[in-house]
Each structure stands twice: as C-alpha cells, then as structure tokens.
C-alpha cells in the first residue's frame, strides 16, 4: 500500500512539472548545463577578439567620411591610393601650360633626337604637322640645357652635336627659337688681355685672356659674342676679317678651330651630302673626298 502511494506521488509530481513546462516554457533550472557551457564559451571567445579599431590601428580622421570599397577598411590602401595612381589622377586634373596634342605618342621611337626627328620630314596634313612640331619642341627643350653647357665648357663637343646650317634652316620657327644658331660668315675675331695690375707689374699671370667674335663688325646690327675656343684656334691672334664657323646661344659662341669647315648633312641633302664653309661662302659635294678637294682650293 505504501509503495502504491509513493508511485502515485511521483507520477503526480512529474505531471505537475510537465504541465508547468507546457504553460511557461523551460525554467532556468531545466536548461542543460552543456548548453550553458557552450554559450559561456562563445562569450569568452567574443571577449578575447580584439576590437576592429585595435586590429586596424587608429583610423585617420580623413577616412571617416571617405566612401570605402566593400571588403576594405577605411585605412586600407588600394590601387587607387598608390602614389603612381595619385600622380596620374592629379596630372589629368591639373591644367597644363600647353594643350596636349592628341597622337603625340604615335611618333616612331627612332625620333629620339632632334636630328632624327628632322630627318622624318615635315608631314603634309595639318594635324600630322601639329604633332610633328610638338615633338620637335619637346626635343629642343630637352637638349637646350646640355647644348648651353657644351658651348661654354666644351665647344668641340657642342659643334659635334649641333645642327648644321641647312638643318637649322629646315626647322619650324618655333623650334629655331629653342636651339643653337649656326653661323658661317666673315667676322671679327679678337684676342684681348684684361689686366688689373699696376704699370710696373708683369702681364704674365696678371691678365685674363678673353676671346670675342663680332658679326657684322662696323654695322648698326653687329652682334658680339664671347668666344669659346679649342685646338688650333688657341694659337690664333686677333683677325679683323676672319672666317667664322660656329654655333651661338645666349651671347656665347662655340667657335670652330679651323677656317675651312666640312659638315655632313646626311644622305639625300639637296645639292650634296657635304657642305664646305669658308668666309660665308658654301660649296657642296657628294663625297667626303670631293669635299676635301674643295677645302684645299679654299686654303
């Protein structure tokens, strides 16, 4: 009898528990411990994860309002943020001193020097000519500092690199204004001693020797240049009417050492490949040997 009562009590309690769970959901005491353990484990893992700011470093204030690329943090660099890209974008935005000429990069790669550019010949179409002139201007500006330095410090090199009179004449006026000007004529060549010593002192070691060229000597449009010389010209004294061949820029002239000068204008030059200059006179020859014979007649 007592056993039956115990069974009835247990069954009643189970029924009460089941009814309470059905009416009010599971109580905290009925939640499995393993589930709470999992929940606590997740909470601990979340607490161990660093914050976004600490993982990425301090956020730049400028990035606060910047639109970000999906999957990229505000401070993260992309291709758009590279210095090369930034320079390209800035160059595209900034106005240039001269308008860009479309098609400039289409010029052949061999037009890398002013001489080779000129050898291409002037195009017939107006647009092609505009591109051609723009390329010539760029090359002229690029070589100008070097030529200015050579004329003053290495006149022999300057003459080797310089344009010949016929090449210069074929240039557009805008390009002519940026390059050295060849001269081949008669002119005054002077050797002067600039002395700053007393009357009783020796000249040697106390005077500065200067060389000068005057073109159109004795006329209203005379031009005077400081002459930079080399070679045989160093042994020459003042000549009132001398044979002058050289290139001028900024009041300086790189003066050829010889009176008679042979220059090579390249194949296809009108009148002959070689030109022989002496005292403003010029004769042409097809071969170097013919040019040397002409030189001998001048001398």
Q: What is the structure's pLDDT at 12?
A: 64
Minimum mean pLDDT among 43-47, 209-213, 250-254: which range?
Answer: 43-47
Q: What is the structure's pLDDT at 29?
A: 45
Look at residue 98 and tell me if it is in a domain. no
Look at residue 284 and tell me if it is in a domain. yes
* pLDDT one-digit tens code per residue, 99-110: 333 333 333 433
Report how far apart, in Å, the C-alpha atoms of 67 and of each of 54, 61, 141, 260 are: 21, 13, 43, 73
Residue 123 is classified by DSSP as -
Rounded Cα distance between 148 and 177, Å, is 13
Rounded Cα distance between 105 and 266, Å, is 26
How much is the pTM? 0.61
Look at residue 248 and tell me if it is in a domain. no
State how many domains the chain has.
1
Look at residue 270 and tell me if it is in a domain. yes
Look at residue 268 and tell me if it is in a domain. yes
Residue 98 vs residue 18, higher pLDDT = 18
Residues whose CB is less than 8 angstroms from the CB of residue 280 and which lie 6 or more positions away in sequence, other chains included: 184, 185, 186, 243
Look at residue 298 and tell me if it is in a domain. yes
Q: Determine the average pLDDT of the residues in 151-172.
A: 96
Nearest CA to 277 among 197, 123, 168, 118?
Answer: 168
- What is the maximum span of the chain, computed from C-alpha positions, in angstroms? 157
- Maximum mean pLDDT: which of 9-23, 64-78, 200-214, 255-269: 255-269
Q: Determine the average pLDDT of the residues in 92-99.
A: 38
Domain that holds residue 271: 260-299
Minimum mean pLDDT among 163-167, 181-185, 216-220, 292-296: which range?
Answer: 216-220
pLDDT above 80 for 122 = yes
Look at residue 226 and tell me if it is in a domain. no
* Residue 44 burial (C-beta neighbours within 10 Å; 0-12, 13-18, 19+): exposed
Look at residue 299 and tell me if it is in a domain. yes
Q: Determine the average pLDDT of the residues in 140-158.
A: 96
Q: What is the structure's pLDDT at 217?
A: 87
Q: What percent of the chain has pLDDT over 70?
A: 60
Rounded Cα distance between 201 and 65, Å, is 80
């Amino acid at each position: 009898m007592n056993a039956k009562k115990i069974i009835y009590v247990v069954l009643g309690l189970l029924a009460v528990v089941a009814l309470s769970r059905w009416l009010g959901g599971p109580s905290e005491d009925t939640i499995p411990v393993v589930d709470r353990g999992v929940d606590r484990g997740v909470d601990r893992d979340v607490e161990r994860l660093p914050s976004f700011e600490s993982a990425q470093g301090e956020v730049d204030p400028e990035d606060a309002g910047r639109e970000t690329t999906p999957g990229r943090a505000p401070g993260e660099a992309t291709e758009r943020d590279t210095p090369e890209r930034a320079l390209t974008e800035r160059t595209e935005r900034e106005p240039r001193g001269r308008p860009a000429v479309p098609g400039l990069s289409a010029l052949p790669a061999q037009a890398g020097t002013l001489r080779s550019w000129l050898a291409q010949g002037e195009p017939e179409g107006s647009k092609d000519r505009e591109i051609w002139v723009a390329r010539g201007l760029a090359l002229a500006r690029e070589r100008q500092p070097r030529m200015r330095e050579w004329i003053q410090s290495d006149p022999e090199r300057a003459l080797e690199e310089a344009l010949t009179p016929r090449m210069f004449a074929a240039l557009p006026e805008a390009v002519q204004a940026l390059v050295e000007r060849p001269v081949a004529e008669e002119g005054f060549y002077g050797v002067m001693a600039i002395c700053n010593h007393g009357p009783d002192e020796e000249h040697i070691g106390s005077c500065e020797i200067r060389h000068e060229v005057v073109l159109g000597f004795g006329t209203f449009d005379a031009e005077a240049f400081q002459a930079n010389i080399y070679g045989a010209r160093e042994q020459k004294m003042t000549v009132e009417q001398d044979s002058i061949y050289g290139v001028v820029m900024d009041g300086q002239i790189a003066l050829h050492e010889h009176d008679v000068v042979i220059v090579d204008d390249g194949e296809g030059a009108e009148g002959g490949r070689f030109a022989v200059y002496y005292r403003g006179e010029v004769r042409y020859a097809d071969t170097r040997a013919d040019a040397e014979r002409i030189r001998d007649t001048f001398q």
